[in-house]
Structure 1
Amino acid sequence: MGRPAGTESWKDVVDAFLAENPDLDTLEVVLPDTNGVLRGKWLPGSALRKVFEDGVALPFSLFGLDVWGREVEETGLHIETGDKDGVCWPIAETLKRVPWAERPTAQVLLSMYHRDGSPFLIDPRHVLSQGRDRLAAMGLSATSAFELEFYLFEDQADGDWGGPPKPLFSTHLGPARQNMYALSDLEALMPLVDDIRRGADAQDIPADAAVSEAAPGQFELNLHHRDDPLAAADDAVLLRRLVAGVARKHNLKASFMAKPFVEWPGNGMHVHVSMEDGEGNIFANAETGATRQGHAIRGLLDTMTEAHLLFVSTFNGFRRMQPGSYAPTSICWGFDNRSVALRVPAAKPEAARIEHRIAGADANPYLVLTGVLAGVVEGLQRAEEPPPPVEGNAYEKTATRLTPWMDEAIDAFAASARMKDAVGVDLHKVLVDIKREELTAFGREISSLERQTYL
């Protein structure tokens, strides 16, 4: 069995961790699947060295599951192959204590490989790694950071969540208490906010600002930028897990569902990205920075329709694309404008960047960043100017619309040679197969509105 390059120097990491955590009882090995759903195993703490020495056997077919964890036979990854195991190797820098667990627990992210040590290229983390390599071949690297929005709900006694959830601070008396940027909401949740911050510190997740967002019980957490896109995406994956775990400890449910309510804003995943060469941020160059930033914007705009499924990958996510909701609905950009798809924030020259605002908070961060980097590469290589920036309310302009329909997004992605190149032939097929099956499943359901209307 071959060991992947870069996984050899693990002993010092494990020795140091065990010295600091001699009471370790449980090890959680965590593998994000194609949807970004976390799969894996719970192992005894004594298995830690073995995990790093030998890897963890898990079936390749985990990457052929739909969002409900069901096998999608069309992917060709299941029983017709014998349902073979791959070897998942731990990502050493993600070995951390789980501060919200009741017993002494550690977690570590995994990535899937073939037995000869070559990467399994349906694993989205490997696909993002290839995008990083394309940039490196151009003499560039990406600096990126995620912002994540989520709701906090009062826990439902039956645990079914079939009825409408009740967010914190909601009331049936008078208008909705949006309380945007309200310090009082954060203060009311001080024990939970403190536990999230301490948990992020313990897991080396570079959490930054926390704000109360535009609906009752809605919040946003920002992450510091990273100079490695894999680390930035790992941060987003682990932050979602941290928030959910801490909320559960406080008898609350944290939800990153893209659109839980018709009447209130959805949850977004915003990505900030800049490009670096040997001399620094290329967007900050006094002579060429604005031009090259424009080229990157043009590439992102031109690939946006084809890459839409990478950014909005759930049936519910397309409900978020509503005018006036702070979710972009058209293919446009602007300066310091939160109604556009691509925002250039007001910033110091050295912090010049692009904010990509399309993704839902429930999307797979590895695939979101893969799509963003593919668009930037496209733009920098073609070196074409973008259209004029939108001023004012983009919802009232006539720019080409982003589709609010999942079937159209699937078809655009499926037909795209650029997306096939960006994510690879294998993942391209698997993602299309999974999303078509999920769309079909939702189409089979009869809604309560239909029954109320037609019975």
Structure 2
Amino acid sequence: MSPMLDQLSLWLKEREITEVECLISDLTGIVRGKISPTSKFVQERGMRLPESVLLQTVTGDYVDDDIYYSLLDPADIDMFCRPDPNAVFVVPWASEPTAQVIHDTYDKHGTPIDLSPRNILKHVLALYAERGWQPIVAPEMEFYLTRRCDDPDLPLQPPIGRSGRQETGRQSFSIDAANEFDPLFEDMYDWCEAQGLDLDTLIHEEGTAQMEINFRHGEALHLADQILVFKRTMREAALKHNVAATFMAKPITDEPGSAMHLHQSVVDAQTGQNIFSNADGSMSELFLHHVGGLQRYIPELLPLFAPNVNSFRRFLPDTSAPVNVEWGEENRTVGLRVPDSDAQNRRVENRLPGADANPYLAIAASLLCGYIGMVEGIEPSAPVKGRGYERRNLRLSLNLEAALERMESCAALEQYLSARFIKAYVAVKRAENENFKRVISSWEREFLLFSV
């Protein structure tokens, strides 16, 4: 056993952990894996899972056989999942001492599997490391609290707060509206502290019972792990208080969507200096090229930021979400906002990813776009001053089908992301989209049933 795994075993023993949840993320961001007695976990030092897990859709279905067998061994072989000792968290809501351990996936030769979202992010971070760069990210997660409802045909309703009343109207940044759910958030903060999650602020967002949690800035892989764990934690805290928490991009009609805003900067790995700023504090060429790369390649990788049919409802007109990849300083009406800051903290905020995006893939894609811009010297457009919602330049695909076609046809990406990963991701999302199109919506029944 390696020294790091020895340390992990000691960590489990000191906390008297009796069960270990062995986790990986599939392409959609769903946590999959096994629950193991601690003794067996320590003995086996990991787990095996069918590699087909990485091609499951959000409904648990799989892609068409032709694509499936072109990507995976027809014998449905196992992949080898090894625990990352730096991605270990307690499970505070469990009835007995339990830990959750995020694993990396490898084939039988020890090669990282290129369909794994966590491996994709690690690959992008390795590109930065080869240049002596280290990305720094700070995610912001928006979500809704709703009443629990077991009928998916019914619209979601705001939950009842401490006052015994439902929230009404827009309550952006309201302290009292957030305090309606104090007992829930106290549990959430306690559980996040127990897990070592780097939470910063809690904000009441614009939507009815819509909240936002900001994370402190830090290393990209660690923050992606934390988002995966936080989403589980938030859902569990909500259930404890008989409400639901949803990270759907657009869960409620006529309410704002939920985003996963990503603040990102890059520092010199040796000195820690922000390479986005010159010595005199002005914007560096690398910063401008990073923005240029985001503008050029976000539209090609949009399915990694907006992975579901529902994701594109965030981008409808008058929904408080950006619909382009324009950029501007202190401008929330464009997709790429540059917050006002000092030279060392200069960063760009990618406001396009939805809260429903897989955190590993969204962070990897956002950093990759900026990386390509820096190494290829891509110049950005002129920054937008004033309102940017109506800008039609650099417009995004209007639906998932168009976005998948664009991602599939972008040959330039294949030198950075494997053709196998792109084929697999597009296939999974197309399978989900076909599944969606089989469902007849309430809108169709309401307006077409007796009218056409």
TM-score range with shorter-chain normalisation?
over 0.9
Structure 1 counterpart of 2:7, from 9, 12, 17: 12
1:399 alignment partner, SS class: coil
Report what 2:294 is aligned to: 300
Give the conservation status (yes or no) of the 8 Å contact 2:167–2:177. no
Supply the distance in 2 between the matched residues of 1:371 and 1:104 (Cα, whole angstroms): 36
Structure 2 counterpart of 1:56, from 47, 54, 59: 47
- 1:400: how far off? 3.1
Supply the distance in 2 between the matched residues of 1:175 and 1:192 (Cα, whole angstroms): 16
1:107 alignment partner, SS class: strand
Structure 2 counterpart of 1:204, from 180, 183, 196: 196
Supply the distance in 1 between the matched residues of 2:421 and 2:8 (Cα, whole angstroms): 32
Alpha-carbon distance change, 174 to 141 in structure 1, aligned in 2, over 3 angstroms: closer
Give the conservation status (yes or no) of the 8 Å contact 1:64–1:77. no
> Identity across aligned pairs (percent)?
32
Letter of the aligned partner of 1:148 in structure 2?
A: M
Report what 1:407 is aligned to: 401
Is residue 240 from structure 1 mapped to residue 214 from structure 2 by the alignment? Answer: no
Give the conservation status (yes or no) of the 8 Å contact 2:71–2:420. no
Matches within 5 A, 1:93-108: 93-108=86-101
Is residue 370 from structure 1 mapped to residue 364 from structure 2 by the alignment? Answer: yes
Matches within 5 A, 1:59-78: 59-72=50-63, 73=65, 74-76=67-69
Supply the distance in 2 between the matched residues of 1:93 and 1:411 (Cα, whole angstroms): 37
Supply the distance in 2 between the matched residues of 1:248 and 1:51 (Cα, whole angstroms): 33
**RMSD between superposed Cα atoms in Å:** 2.2
Supply the distance in 2 between the matched residues of 1:368 and 1:134 (Cα, whole angstroms): 16
Give the conservation status (yes or no) of the 8 Å contact 1:61–1:78. no
- 1:77: how far off? 7.3
Report what 1:426 is aligned to: 420
Alpha-carbon distance change, 347 to 166 in structure 1, aligned in 2, over 3 angstroms: same
- 1:445: how far off? 1.9
Alpha-carbon distance change, 370 to 166 in structure 1, aligned in 2, over 3 angstroms: same
Report what 1:270 is aligned to: 261
Is residue 341 from structure 1 mapped to residue 332 from structure 2 by the alignment? Answer: no
Of 94-103 and 338-347, the range deviating more from structure 2: 94-103
- Say how many residue pairs are matched: 442
Give the conservation status (yes or no) of the 8 Å contact 2:249–2:356. yes
Report what 1:220 is aligned to: 212
Matches within 5 A, 1:307-322: 307-322=301-316
Matches within 5 A, 1:85-96: 85-96=78-89
Give the conservation status (yes or no) of the 8 Å contact 1:27–1:47. no
Supply the distance in 2 between the matched residues of 1:169 and 1:212 (Cα, whole angstroms): 16
Report what 1:147 is aligned to: 140
Alpha-carbon distance change, 380 to 296 in structure 1, aligned in 2, over 3 angstroms: same
Report what 1:230 is aligned to: 221
Supply the distance in 2 between the matched residues of 1:162 and 1:313 (Cα, whole angstroms): 22
Give the conservation status (yes or no) of the 8 Å contact 1:370–1:423. no
Deviation digits for residues 317-337 of structure 1 (CA, Å, limit 9, x no counterpart): 011112332311012011111
Of 91-100 and 119-128, the range deviating more from structure 2: 91-100
- 1:410: how far off? 0.3
1:380 alignment partner, SS class: helix
Supply the distance in 2 between the matched residues of 1:44 and 1:384 (Cα, whole angstroms): 51
Give the conservation status (yes or no) of the 8 Å contact 1:321–1:329. yes
Structure 1 counterpart of 2:158, from 140, 163, 167: 167
Supply the distance in 2 between the matched residues of 1:166 and 1:46 (Cα, whole angstroms): 44
Report what 2:436 is aligned to: 442
Supply the distance in 1 between the matched residues of 2:72 and 2:411 (Cα, whole angstroms): 29
Give the conservation status (yes or no) of the 8 Å contact 2:62–2:431. no
Report what 1:379 is aligned to: 373
Supply the distance in 2 between the matched residues of 1:338 and 1:407 (Cα, whole angstroms): 27
- 1:91: how far off? 1.4
Deviation digits for residues 351-387 of structure 1 (CA, Å, limit 9, x no counterpart): 1001001111011111111211221111112224311
Supply the distance in 2 between the matched residues of 1:174 and 1:424 (Cα, whole angstroms): 48
Supply the distance in 2 between the matched residues of 1:454 and 1:384 (Cα, whole angstroms): 48
- 1:264: how far off? 0.5
Alpha-carbon distance change, 381 to 318 in structure 1, aligned in 2, over 3 angstroms: same
Letter of the aligned partner of 1:189 in structure 2?
A: F
- 1:175: how far off? 10
Supply the distance in 2 between the matched residues of 1:108 and 1:265 (Cα, whole angstroms): 34
Deviation digits for residues 277-298 of structure 1 (CA, Å, limit 9, x no counterpart): 1331111333464332111101
Supply the distance in 1 between the matched residues of 2:349 and 2:30 (Cα, whole angstroms): 25
Supply the distance in 2 between the matched residues of 1:94 and 1:160 (Cα, whole angstroms): 36
Alpha-carbon distance change, 390 to 174 in structure 1, aligned in 2, over 3 angstroms: farther
Report what 1:181 is aligned to: 173
Report what 1:126 is aligned to: 119
1:106 alignment partner, SS class: strand
1:397 alignment partner, SS class: coil
- 1:454: how far off? 2.6
Q: Which 5+ residue runs of structure 2 have no aligned equivalent?
A: none
Alpha-carbon distance change, 8 to 160 in structure 1, aligned in 2, over 3 angstroms: farther
1:305 alignment partner, SS class: coil
Structure 2 counterpart of 1:417, from 400, 411, 416: 411
Structure 2 counterpart of 1:191, from 183, 191, 194: 183
TM-score, normalised relative to structure 1 = 0.92
Supply the distance in 2 between the matched residues of 1:26 and 1:160 (Cα, whole angstroms): 33
TM-score, normalised relative to structure 2 = 0.93
Letter of the aligned partner of 1:82 in structure 2?
A: A
Supply the distance in 1 between the matched residues of 2:158 and 2:78 (Cα, whole angstroms): 41
Give the conservation status (yes or no) of the 8 Å contact 2:167–2:208. no
Letter of the aligned partner of 2:4 in structure 1?
A: S
Structure 1 counterpart of 2:129, from 114, 125, 136: 136
- 1:67: how far off? 1.0
Supply the distance in 1 between the matched residues of 2:88 and 2:80 (Cα, whole angstroms): 18
Letter of the aligned partner of 2:202 in structure 1?
A: A
